[in-house]
């Protein structure tokens, strides 16, 4: 995949409904080129553009990163993990831990129960838990809103449901399905996006990880974290960053074209006076990357 295509996808990750014309202007190319690049990827299933509701509006108030160490055959362990619906991300990793996962649950008690269940899987020798204290940047969420004051109704839920299937569905199609005027539909969608309860972005199929290298880093700092988060935030391949409670203070996920580029960034991080430790791992196979969570909690709230 050429760099221009990667740049187009990077924009769509964060702004799934941006027009092809706006992408073309930002990257100095033509609308036709953007359309000829994106449309075949969507039609083939290589790229999906969908809505992702914020976990907290779904009642999932506890989010955590799980590092899992295993012994023996990894496949049965992965199969057991795939049965757990709350795990939105599962990958096979090269590093100190062989499996990396992300979970979202209603309570700390639920998290404790899930960790105990994972530890009981045959072949699992260790599970390390990192609680997300605050999400600073995410594939869908951007910086986590301070609070949510959006009151959902059935129309909101219908709109989110449609956008979970096709994040670039036209306002006309959405309006026709939910019984709103075109302007009313546009206002509703913009309000959902601006409030932070929903984001729309692109997910690229990358189970074989042949195009990009996806790395994870865990960092410990003393004193102020600003220099570290600012430096990581400068990377165009940043997909996730959070302040955490556990063995790391900051955790991040980033994609790079080469190991050399990643090593250069790590060296720059280690040169910062506030950084005391940095652990790295490589995601070699993405088993699950899912954001289309059930809206059952919203339906209960709206009811």
Instruction: Kindly state whether residue 161 falls inside one of the protein's structural domains.
Output: no
pTM over 0.75: yes
Q: What mean pLDDT do residues 206-233 have? A: 86
Inform me whether the pLDDT recorded for 107 exceeds 80. yes
Q: Looking at the 3D structure of the chain, how many domains does it have? A: 2
On whether both 224 and 137 belong to a single domain, the answer is yes
Instruction: Kindly state whether residue 148 falls inside one of the protein's structural domains.
Output: no
Instruction: Kindly state whether residue 250 falls inside one of the protein's structural domains.
Output: yes
Give me the domain span that covers residue 27. Answer: 3-44
Burial (CB count within 10 angstroms: exposed 0-12, middle 13-18, buried 19+), residue 285:
middle
DSSP 73-141: -SHHHHHHHHT-TTEEEEEEEESS-SEEEEEEES-HHHHHHHHHHHHTSTTEEEEEEEEEEEEEEETTT
On whether both 123 and 235 belong to a single domain, the answer is yes
DSSP 209-262: --S-EEEEEEEEESS--HHHHHHHHT-TTEEEEEEEESS-SEEEEEEES-HHHH
Confidence of residue 40 (pLDDT cuts 50, 70, 90): very high
d(CA 254, CA 274): 21
Instruction: Kindly state whether residue 108 falls inside one of the protein's structural domains.
Output: yes
**What per-residue confidence (pLDDT) applies to 183?**
96
Average pLDDT, the chain: 90
CA–chain centroid gap for 157, Å, is 21
**What per-residue confidence (pLDDT) applies to 196?**
80
Q: What is the pLDDT of residues 115-165, one digit of tens each?
A: 999 999 999 999 999 999 988 887 555 555 555 666 788 999 999 999 999
Instruction: Kindly state whether residue 71 falls inside one of the protein's structural domains.
Output: yes
On whether both 37 and 126 belong to a single domain, the answer is no
On whether both 7 and 104 belong to a single domain, the answer is no
Inform me whether the pLDDT recorded for 296 exceeds 70. no
On whether both 137 and 7 belong to a single domain, the answer is no
């Amino acid at each position: 995949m050429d760099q221009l295509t990667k740049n187009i996808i990077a924009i769509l990750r964060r702004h799934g409904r941006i027009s092809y014309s706006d992408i073309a202007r930002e990257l100095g190319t033509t609308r036709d080129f953007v359309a000829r690049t994106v449309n075949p990827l969507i039609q083939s299933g290589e790229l999906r553009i969908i809505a992702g509701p914020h976990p907290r509006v779904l009642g999932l108030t506890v989010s955590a990163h799980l590092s899992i160490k295993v012994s023996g055959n990894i496949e049965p362990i992965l199969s057991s993990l795939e049965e757990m619906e709350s795990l939105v991300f599962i990958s096979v990793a090269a590093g100190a831990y062989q499996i990396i996962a992300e979970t979202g649950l209603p309570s700390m008690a639920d998290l404790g129960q899930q960790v105990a269940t994972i530890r009981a899987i045959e072949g699992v020798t260790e599970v390390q838990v990192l609680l997300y204290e605050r999400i600073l940047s995410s594939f869908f969420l951007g910086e986590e809103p301070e609070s949510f004051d959006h009151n959902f109704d059935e129309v909101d839920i219908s709109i989110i449901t449609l956008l979970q299937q096709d994040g670039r569905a036209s306002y006309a199609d959405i309006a026709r399905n939910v019984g709103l005027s075109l302007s009313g539909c546009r206002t509703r969608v913009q309000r959902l996006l601006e409030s932070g309860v929903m984001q729309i972005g692109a997910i690229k199929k990358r189970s074989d990880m042949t195009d990009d290298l996806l790395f994870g880093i865990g960092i410990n700092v003393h004193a102020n974290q600003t220099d570290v988060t600012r430096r990581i935030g400068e990377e165009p391949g940043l997909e996730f960053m959070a302040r955490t409670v556990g063995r790391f203070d900051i955790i991040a996920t980033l994609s790079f074209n080469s190991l050399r580029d990643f090593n250069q960034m790590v060296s720059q991080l280690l040169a910062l006076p506030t950084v005391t430790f940095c652990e790295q791992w490589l995601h070699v196979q993405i088993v699950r990357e899912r954001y289309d969570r059930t809206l059952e909690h919203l339906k209960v709230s709206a009811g």
